[in-house]
């Protein structure tokens, strides 16, 4: 079951044990999905903040396809 994280510091700490970080970019938000051995964690941030976080991630970063507009 996926889990949502709101603390950026905790998210960055978990990147050390993660296998990959998937980036899903939308119009107004970016979802960072962190795959760990046990869970999939999701952090939802603004596009400007996402770039700062991605520079500090310690695992492989994978860009996902953009979300479809409804």
pLDDT for 2 equals 85
pLDDT band at 5 (very low <50, low <70, confident <90, very high): very high
Q: Specify the pLDDT at position 66.
A: 63
Domain boundaries, the chain: 3-63
d(CA 6, CA 67): 21
- 11-63 pLDDT per residue, tens: 999 999 999 999 999 989 999 999 999 999 999 999 999 999 999 998 999 99
One of 3.30.70.20, 3.30.720.90, 2.40.50.140, 3.40.605.10 is the CATH number of 3-63, namely 3.30.720.90
Report whether pLDDT(1) > 80: no
Residue for token pair 């970019």? 25
CB 17: neighbour CB atoms within 10 A?
Answer: 12
């Amino acid at each position: 079951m996926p889990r949502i994280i709101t603390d950026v510091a905790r998210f960055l700490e978990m990147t050390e044990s993660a296998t990959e970080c998937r980036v899903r970019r939308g119009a107004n938000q970016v979802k960072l999905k962190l795959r760990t051995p046990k869970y999939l964690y999701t952090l939802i941030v603004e596009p400007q903040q996402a770039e700062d976080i991605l520079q500090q991630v310690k695992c492989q970063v994978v860009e996902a396809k953009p979300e479809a507009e409804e």
